[in-house]
Amino acid sequence: MHTATVRVCLSPAPGFCVKSSTLQPAVCKITAQSAQSLSKLDGPSQSALITPTPGILSLPKGIKVFVNIAWDANVPPPPEGSEETIQRAMKGEDETSFTTDGGWFVPVIVSEPRSDADKAGKPSVAFDCVYNSSLKSRTLRDPSFRAFLVELGLQRIEAQYSLLLSRQLGTPNIASKGKLLPRNVLVPLALYPSEHPLHDDTNKTKKPLVEELEPRTKLVEDISNKLKLVEEVETKSKGILRSGTVTTQKKECPKFEWVKEGDKLKITVHVPKLRSTHIPNATLDLESRRIILDAAPFYSLDVDLSLSDAQIMSVSGGASSDNSALTLKRQRDLDVDNATAEWHVGEGVLVILA
């Protein structure tokens, strides 16, 4: 279950800028291409924060962080919503989600961090938070909505780069810190309205949604917390593991995603290396705000939804790649008493309904 993405070209227009600072040291990963371009922009201060390790931006505690709020028509717009729904979202009273389940949310594209310098010439760092251009007019006339977009941008930066940012904000008298450059980004197609032209372009090359599969058999076993494990095994498959060939290795944090399926939350954990011989030793523990999976010798997952956004993204490993942990946090508690789990060994996934 993979979310379709489309490549979009952005040419952000500056809106306004706010100034914050880091509350603790942090290390941000950036692409090698970005690191190379940083050293060529705005003098030597651009590369002052890049460590000798390629693609790393090291941020000390207390460094200034500039956040550029920018606009581009190619960023997905928020879905239609009543004023009451929008106000609930602004107050944090509504369950917002980046899925297409009818919730109201505001998509934002966050740039990689880039090093810069403040007015005194001291190193600083800048981020761009790009919103759909349709939000600009309301931001100009509604100070509370402007504050909402700023807070949303700060939260997304914290989640994406495992930062903790101060909420004591300054408002520099500049439209943006540094020049906003064109960029290409990958955006989930589902964030765009159904009538958007991008859907038509994607449908031309879309693969069939249903494919004929080989017959399967199901083996049912009991595990902890009253869950059932259903192992799906291809009838024609043959095991490739031999006893004594598994060596000790560091466990990976598996990727996962979730969707709403009726009144359930469907969580799919990708564990492609697992075989039927590993399942008897695997354990799954569900709590109302936590998922713990130990699937030796390959995988270990611990998602604690009671943590802050930044803490969740810093400890969830592979799960942070699509922000699944962060969006799942905004949903209701997991229904532990009525939860079920299924191993789909042929597909390399564990499916949890809670």
Residue 12 reports pLDDT greater than 90? yes
Residue 262 reports pLDDT greater than 60? yes
**Per-residue confidence at 155, pLDDT binned at 50, 70, 90?**
very high
Q: What is the mean pLDDT of residues 231-239?
A: 35
Considering the chain, what is the average pLDDT of its residues? 76
185 has which bridge partners?
8
CATH class in words for 256-353 = mainly beta
Residue 104 reports pLDDT greater than 70? yes
**Per-residue confidence at 103, pLDDT binned at 50, 70, 90?**
low
Residue 48 reports pLDDT greater than 70? no
Residue 40 reports pLDDT greater than 60? no
CA 261, 267, 269, 270 torsion-angle sign: positive
- Least confident window among 51-60, 103-112, 229-238: 229-238
Per residue in 165-198, pLDDT (tens digit) is: 999 999 999 999 998 989 898 888 888 888 778 7
Q: Report how many helices (DSSP H) and strands (DSSP E) the chain contains, helices first.
A: 7, 18
- Range with the largest mean pLDDT of 17-26, 242-251, 290-299, 314-323: 17-26
pLDDT, position 53: 58
pLDDT, position 51: 54
Contact between 93 and 84 (Cβ < 8 Å): no
Q: Show me where the domains of the chain are located.
A: 5-36+52-191, 256-353
Residue that wins the pLDDT comparison between 42 and 21: 21
pLDDT, position 325: 84
pLDDT, position 194: 80
Write the DSSP assignment of 242-283 as a string of letters: -TT-PPP-PPB---EEEEEETTEEEEEEE-TT--TTTGGG-E
Per residue in 290-349, pLDDT (tens digit) is: 898 888 788 888 888 888 777 776 665 444 445 788 888 888 888 888 888 888 888 889
Q: Can you tell me whether residue 72 is helix, strand or coil?
A: strand
Residue that wins the pLDDT comparison between 241 and 250: 250
Q: What is the mean pLDDT of residues 100-120?
A: 82
CA distances from 29 to 41, 313, 349 (A): 19, 13, 28
Residues in CB range of 117: below 8 A, 6 or more apart: 42, 43, 45, 48, 123, 124
Per residue in 212-234, pLDDT (tens digit) is: 344 433 333 333 444 444 443 33
Other C-beta atoms lying within 10 Å of the C-beta of residue 300: 16
pLDDT, position 339: 86
pLDDT, position 277: 78
pLDDT, position 50: 52
Other C-beta atoms lying within 10 Å of the C-beta of residue 3: 14
Residue that wins the pLDDT comparison between 146 and 222: 146
- Least confident window among 5-19, 137-151, 223-237: 223-237
Q: What pTM was estimated for this model as a whole?
A: 0.55
Residue 68 reports pLDDT greater than 90? yes
